[in-house]
């Protein structure tokens, strides 16, 4: 396993090494604040993923629960393999660009092709 930095979270470090400046494992990018999980909706942009989080909120008027969805942009280092449909763990960091203030630090589940075809 290659040398990687301890980022202070209980996540598995990637096995590949990268030269990315914004990698929390192989560079000096610090993670702080919130730790969120969500489903990866898109990885089409270079080094960026769109992560969608779902939550429920109770509506008093109709006495029902509403399903709410929130999207956030997160930086993906080249040492992490991430596909659409994966459950990603993202951590807050300093602003990397105008809309990116989170970085992907790991993934919980790998999307299978059978799940994506549904």
Give the single-character DSSP code of 83: -
- Does residue 21 fall inside a structural domain? no
Helices (H), the chain: 113-116
Q: Is residue 45 in some structural domain?
A: yes
Looking up residue 61, the CATH number of its domain turns out to be: 2.40.50.1000
Residue 52 · residue 39 · CB < 8 Å? yes
Q: Grade residue 27 by pLDDT with cuts at 50, 70 and 90.
A: confident
Q: What is the pLDDT of residue 59?
A: 96
Reply yes or no on whether the pLDDT at 113 is more than 60: no
> Which whole-number Å values give the CA distances from 55 to 67, 69, 71, 86, in the listed order?
6, 6, 11, 18
Q: Where does the pLDDT of residue 1 fall: very low under 50, low under 70, confident under 90, or very high at 90 and above?
A: very low
- Domain with 74, as residue range(s), is 31-116
Q: What percent of the chain has pLDDT over 90?
A: 49
Task: Give the predicted TM-score (pTM) of the model.
Answer: 0.81
**Residue 50, domain member (yes or no):** yes
In the chain, which ranges are E strands?
31-42, 48-59, 64-75, 87-93, 100-109
């Amino acid at each position: 396993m290659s040398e990687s930095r301890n980022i202070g979270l209980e996540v598995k470090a990637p096995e590949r090494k990268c030269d990315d400046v914004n990698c929390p494992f192989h560079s000096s990018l610090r993670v702080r604040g919130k730790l969120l999980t969500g489903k990866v909706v898109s990885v089409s942009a270079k080094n960026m993923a769109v992560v969608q989080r779902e939550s429920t909120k109770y509506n008093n008027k109709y006495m029902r629960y509403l399903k709410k969805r929130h999207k956030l942009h997160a930086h993906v280092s080249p040492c992490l393999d991430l596909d659409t449909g994966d459950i990603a763990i993202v951590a807050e960091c300093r602003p990397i660009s105008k809309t990116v203030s989170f970085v992907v630090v790991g993934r919980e589940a790998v999307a299978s092709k059978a799940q994506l075809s549904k």
